[in-house]
């Protein structure tokens, strides 16, 4: 029984003790695996999770496996019922439908968003993240043109593709 619990992926709210583990997860995925031209210096939010992600009804979660951070996801409260999905990363060994890590993270964020009264979630990504794009489409997101983004959606400089999901207040 104890061994089975250790093998389970759990999702929990970010704590400051996760900070370096989240950085160590995200940077190699961005820089090495997908060659996205972004540095830690370009992401001061990773040092200010409470101030950036937990304002209003936003939050930040980590996926843990055997007490190790294997995934992350965040929701920024942009106001007027709009949430921005950010920092969704999953370690390569825990990706795919069989592992279900990304789904667990997105489901937790969606439950939170619905409970907090969000009406829409928007995210930005880059072309090279093809599997992520398919995942978002499978989960009810649709492409939105950059020019159609709401004014209160904070753009990330590296993002080139944008997706939106209307929440019907049910999962």
- Domain assignment present for 61: yes
Please write the tens of the pLDDT for every residue from 54-63.
999 999 999 9
Full residue range of the structural domain in which residue 138 is found: 2-166
Q: What is the pLDDT of residue 36?
A: 86
Q: Is 66 part of any domain?
A: yes
Measured CA to CA, the distance from residue 89 to residue 93 in angstroms comes to 12
In a domain, 171, yes or no: no
Using one digit for the tens of pLDDT, what is the confidence trace for 18-48? 999 999 999 999 999 999 888 999 999 999 9
The pLDDT of residue 154 is 83
136 lies in a domain?
yes
Provide the domain count of the chain.
Answer: 1
Integer Cα distance of 135 and 102 in angstroms: 9
Answer whether residue 111 shows pLDDT above 50: yes
Burial of 156 (0-12, 13-18, 19+ CB in 10 A): middle
Q: What global pTM score does this model have?
A: 0.92
- CATH number reported for the structural domain that contains residue 27 in this entry: 3.40.630.30
């Amino acid at each position: 029984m104890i061994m089975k619990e250790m093998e389970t992926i759990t999702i929990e709210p970010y704590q400051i003790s996760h900070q370096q583990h989240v950085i160590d997860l995200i940077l190699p995925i961005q820089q090495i695996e997908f060659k996205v031209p972004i540095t830690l210096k370009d992401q001061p939010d990773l040092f200010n999770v409470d101030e950036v992600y937990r304002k209003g009804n936003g939050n930040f979660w980590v996926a843990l496996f055997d007490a190790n951070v294997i995934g992350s996801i965040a929701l920024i409260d942009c106001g007027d019922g709009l949430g921005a999905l950010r920092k969704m990363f999953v370690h390569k060994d825990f990706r795919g439908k069989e592992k279900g890590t990304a789904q667990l993270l997105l489901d937790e964020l969606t439950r939170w968003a619905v409970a907090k009264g969000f009406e829409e979630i928007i995210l930005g990504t880059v072309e090279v993240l093809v599997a992520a794009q398919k995942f978002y489409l499978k989960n009810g997101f649709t492409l939105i043109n950059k020019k159609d983004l709401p004014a209160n959606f904070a753009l990330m400089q590296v993002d080139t593709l944008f997706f939106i999901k209307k929440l019907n207040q049910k999962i």
